[in-house]
Amino acid sequence: MRYEQHLSFAQRMDQQDPLRSYRQQFYFPQHDGQDCIYLCGNSLGLQPRSVEPALLAELEHWRTHGVEGHFKGEMPWMYYHKFLQEQSATVVGVQPDEVVVMNTLTTNLHLMMVSFYRPTAERYKIIVEGGAFPSDQYAVESQVRFHGYAPEDAIVEVHPRPGEKTLRTEDIIATIEREGEQCALVMFGGVNYFTGQFFDLPAITEAGHKVGAQVGFDLAHTAGNLPLQLHDWNVDFAVWCSYKYLNSGPGGPSGAFVHERHGNNPDLPRFAGWWGHDESQRFLMKKGFIPMQGAAGWQLSNAQILSMAAHKASLDIFQAAGMAALREKSLLLTGYLEFLLQQSGKNFELITPKDSVQRGCQLSLLTDDSGRQLFDYLTKHGVMADWREDNLYGKMAGVIRVAPVPLYNSFEDVYRFVELLKSA
């Protein structure tokens, strides 16, 4: 693609965009009576217009049927998780039985580690990306302590080489090979929330399995951002949230993937609850846990209907748009952002990989001391992006994260953003 620096080019790209109509399906926050330039879908996705009617329908169902709503209507609450399985499965590339929507992300990460981090005196280490999202760090640290190990010893972080900002796959694999038989679990983000780097998940999975470890991913910044094939890649488990790229609203429910070879193993240890119990016997209220087949066997509680209804409305949109088409637009859109940023003459460094295979839609701009001022200027002029301070590189760095999402952002959004940046 030969990008051009004019507004007319951006507008032409928008006219030719086969996904352009999806923008109309979302509410944009307003700034001075206009849609703001929303580049924050990696943090909280915008509200689909279809969410409100979906919520109202469930309220109506409750009002009309009371407790019988569990069994009545088109989507009885008793089976609610099933109505989200197929679409969630398409988003992350798995079989419907391998996925379940439940709880929230960090909770599910713990539930998965209960089953897949089973340390022994010889094999007890967890390999993680350095600078992982704090919640993941705390989850891993507390799991390690829970089993009686010392985090300094049991958690092995992979860091960028001196002078580099992102990880090399060869270094990740070398670390896994070095820890070898001591490695119990490899737990990585799919896309690092800070740098926007998309890791080579199949290669990491293969390397982990070679040394006899389990391999799981936190896909908070990956699900709905990049096409995945978790089943074929043989990943053991994965978790993600639905309120970032998947637009299900604040605190929206999490998805969990358990590969079928584990999901159909009733002997795999887990923390259980009645909603994971064999459906045909659930209301017999008997002793003795019999897990449901598949990921559904990890459910604890009855479904959070309202937040799952919002999530379902959003998944319907993903189903209609398709991950392949979204990725195709995303490559163009983020490529355009990169092109304009490089021409902008502004003083920052793009720390997201230049190779589009190693990133989704987000670009992270590492700024100098004036970064905060720049960010505030953008905010004042109607840009919603994200500011992070971090001492990841040994000094306080300010990073502006911008994520043009293909579902509702336009080429004109990207153009107008960079124009504002240049005027700062």
Please answer whether residues 270 and 110 qualify as being in contact, where contact means their C-beta atoms are separated by less than 8 angstroms: no
Q: How far is the CB of 253 from ligand PLP (least distance, A)?
A: 9
Q: How far is the CB of 154 from ligand PLP (least distance, A)?
A: 20
Q: How many residues bind ligand PLP (CB under 6 A)?
A: 12
Q: What share of the chain is helix, strand, coil (3-state, %, to 5)?
A: 45, 15, 40
40: enclosing H helix or E strand: none
Judged by CB under 6 A, does residue 248 bind ligand PLP? no
* Choice between 230 and 341, CB closer to ligand PLP: 230
Q: Which residue has the tokens 């953003």?
A: 417
Q: How far is the CB of 197 from ligand PLP (least distance, A)?
A: 13
Residue of 22, 117, 124, 193 that binds ligand PLP (CB under 6 A): 193
18 CB-side CA count, 13 A:
10
**In terms of DSSP bridges, do strands 214-218 and 183-189 run parallel, antiparallel, or are they unpaired?**
parallel
| Buried/exposed code over 378-413 (b: 16+ C-beta within 10 A; e: otherwise) | beebbbbbbbeeeebeeeebbbbbbbbbbbbbbbeb
Residue of 45, 189, 253, 255 that binds ligand PLP (CB under 6 A): 189
* Choice between 136 and 179, CB closer to ligand PLP: 136
Binding segment (CB under 6 A) for ligand PLP, from list 101-109, 170-178, 378-386, 397-405: 101-109
Q: How far is the CB of 24 from ligand PLP (least distance, A)?
A: 27
Instruction: Report CA torsion sign: 118, 207, 351, 17.
Output: negative
**Distances, alpha carbon 177 to alpha carbons 128, 172, 183, 233, in Å:** 14, 9, 9, 19
Q: How far is the CB of 424 from ligand PLP (least distance, A)?
A: 28
Judged by CB under 6 A, does residue 105 bind ligand PLP? yes
Site string for ligand PLP, 217-246 (x = CB under 6 A): -x-xx-------------------x-----
Q: How far is the CB of 135 from ligand PLP (least distance, A)?
A: 4
| Buried/exposed code over 35-57 (b: 16+ C-beta within 10 A; e: otherwise) | bbbbbbbbbbbbbbebbeebbee
Q: How far is the CB of 265 from ligand PLP (least distance, A)?
A: 26
CA distance 14 to 8: 10
Binding segment (CB under 6 A) for ligand PLP, from list 57-65, 80-88, 132-140, 409-417: 132-140
* Choice between 104 and 214, CB closer to ligand PLP: 104
Token readout for 130 is 């350095």
CA distance 37 to 45: 13
Judged by CB under 6 A, does residue 405 bind ligand PLP? no
Q: Which residues bind ligand PLP (CB under 6 A)?
A: 104-106, 133, 135-136, 189, 193, 218, 220-221, 241
